[in-house]
Amino acid sequence: MSTDWDVVVVGAGIAGLTAARVAAEHGLRVVAYDRLTPGGQLVNLTALHEHPGGTGPELVAALTAAAEGAGVRLAYAEVTRVHPGSPVRLETSGGEVTAGAVVVATGLGPGRLGLPGEEALARRGVSTCAGCDGPLFRGRAVAVVGDDEWTAEEALELAGWASAVTVLVPGQPRWSPDRAARLAAAERVEVVPDATVTALRGEGVLSGVVVRTADGERALAVAGLFPFVGRRGPEGLVEGLAADAQGRLVPSGGVLVAGDARAGAEQSLTAAEADGRAAGEAALGALAASSGSLRIVDPTHGVLPEVDAAPVGAGSTATWTDVALFTNSKPNATELLRGLGERLQAHWGLPELGFAAKENASVAAEKDTIDWLSQRFKMVLVAVGD
Ligand SMILES: Cc1cc2nc3c(=O)[nH]c(=O)nc-3n(C[C@H](O)[C@H](O)[C@H](O)COP(=O)(O)OP(=O)(O)OC[C@H]3O[C@@H](n4cnc5c(N)ncnc54)[C@H](O)[C@@H]3O)c2cc1C
């Protein structure tokens, strides 16, 4: 099967860059597409919590250098549709490409409340990046919407600039007792559980929100709003692939999904990195399974019946064997090829190494033998001993 790439990775966040690097380190031809700059969510993170990676930009630099060092091609394009199969076909903003395997690592979309006027107010008061936009709200009041560990950290970060940070929790907080204690101790931070934002206020720029709690509705004057809820996965990107309620993909049928985009993902840097590593290894396995086995063949011995009997079309090559190691069966040549075969099998992660040879035979370089070899194998390595 001839494809543009062995592996296409969709999304170059921590999961995608890790998957791409691991696959490339195994000698595969890998491209990682991103519709923005590489790094994904990490680009927005000044401080990393529960990960030893330094700052977000430092970790992006390290991940990118490691991927490119392993031979990954980083490409700037949006993947708009993935058609699974053999080969996988991908529609991108730069044209169509084919691959032996695909890893979907798109992460989640930005936080959204789903309220009228929200898109128009994005970057006009509505933001999802405390590290980037926090300084714009120095001395002004902001609200944060969310219930998880990272919402708590973003609120604490914003408290370094804002005059007041109201954390609106849709239900009850899910963050750890340690984070709850830090929020409680923080000056200028108030946590409001069971709060729903019902409307946004502002002409051109945000001026406030309407919040409903058990006590009723009230207006809250804020210059900034940071929604960390309503983030959705890439539902619909891959033809035929099911998604969960959050639009995150359920891997099946050989389509690999890594990081936040995967149904059930933990949504942390460590988990996304581990996911990426596993997907890179799995891509290798998927390609090996489709590329067949490696077999050492000595035509003087007579080949295995199933090989000999299989029809060969003009100009075709066998599908179950990519490489023939062809020896005249002299012991030294046989040993050389057996060693070479084992190395190739390990390098390509092939499931099977076959060996068929007869002791002390020799073969004439006749037309039939040459035809047979050239039609059945993509590569023939020859060693002749005496
Ligand atoms: C506010 C916030 C703070 C966080 N803080 C922490 C923290 O301190 N510690 C921690 O462990 N975790 C933290 N997390 C979680 C962590 O950032 C994520 O779990 C992790 O970054 C997910 O990585 P990913 O590679 O799966 O996805 P992402 O980082 O989202 O990367 C996905 C990439 O895919 C690209 N992409 C998407 N669709 C396409 C497409 N169709 N074609 C091409 N490219 C596409 C995007 O541009 C993006 O670059 C935080 C999350 C948030 C929201």
Residue 326, judged by CB atoms within 10 A of its CB (0-12, 13-18, 19+), counts as buried
Take atom 44 of ligand 1 and give the residue whose Cα is closest: 34
Is the CB of 333 within 6 Å of ligand 1? no
CB 363 within 8 A of CB 380: no
Take atom 3 of ligand 1 and give the residue whose Cα is closest: 150
Give the orientation angle of helix 14-25 with respect to helix 56-69, to 10 degrees. Answer: 20
Q: Which DSSP helix (H) or strand (E) runs through 191? A: strand 189-192
Is the CB of 11 within 6 Å of ligand 1? yes
CB 43 within 8 A of CB 57: yes
State which ligand 1 atom lies nearest to the alpha carbon of 262: 26
Is the CB of 269 within 6 Å of ligand 1? yes
Is the CB of 16 within 6 Å of ligand 1? yes
For residue 264, how far is its CA from the centre of ligand 1 (angstroms)?
A: 15
Amino acid 375: pLDDT: 62
For residue 107, how far is its CA from the centre of ligand 1 (angstroms)?
A: 5
Is the CB of 33 within 6 Å of ligand 1? yes
**CATH number corresponding to 5-109+232-288:** 3.50.50.60
Take atom 52 of ligand 1 and give the residue whose Cα is closest: 150
Take atom 38 of ligand 1 and give the residue whose Cα is closest: 106
Is the CB of 107 within 6 Å of ligand 1? yes
The mean predicted confidence, pLDDT, of the chain is: 86
3-state secondary structure of 110: coil
Q: What is the pTM of this model?
A: 0.80
Cis peptide before 87 (omega within 30 of 0): yes
Q: Which residues of the chain have pLDDT under 70?
A: 1, 288-330, 348-366, 368-386
Both ends of the chain: CA-CA distance in Å? 36
Is the CB of 45 within 6 Å of ligand 1? yes
Eight-state DSSP code of residue 349: T
Amino acid 206: pLDDT: 98
Take atom 17 of ligand 1 and give the residue whose Cα is closest: 41
d(CA 15, CA 270): 9
For residue 261, how far is its CA from the centre of ligand 1 (angstroms)?
A: 9
Amino acid 363: pLDDT: 54
The Cβ of residue 384 has, within 10 Å, a number of other Cβ atoms equal to 14
Amino acid 318: pLDDT: 40
Take atom 12 of ligand 1 and give the residue whose Cα is closest: 268
What is the fold of 130-227? FAD/NAD(P)-binding domain (3.50.50)
- CATH 3.50.50.60 maps onto the chain at 5-109+232-288, 130-227
CB 88 within 8 A of CB 238: no
Is the CB of 106 within 6 Å of ligand 1? yes
For residue 260, how far is its CA from the centre of ligand 1 (angstroms)?
A: 7
For residue 219, how far is its CA from the centre of ligand 1 (angstroms)?
A: 32
Is the CB of 155 within 6 Å of ligand 1? no
d(CA 108, CA 243): 13
Amino acid 137: pLDDT: 97
Is the CB of 161 within 6 Å of ligand 1? no
Amino acid 2: pLDDT: 77
d(CA 342, CA 334): 12
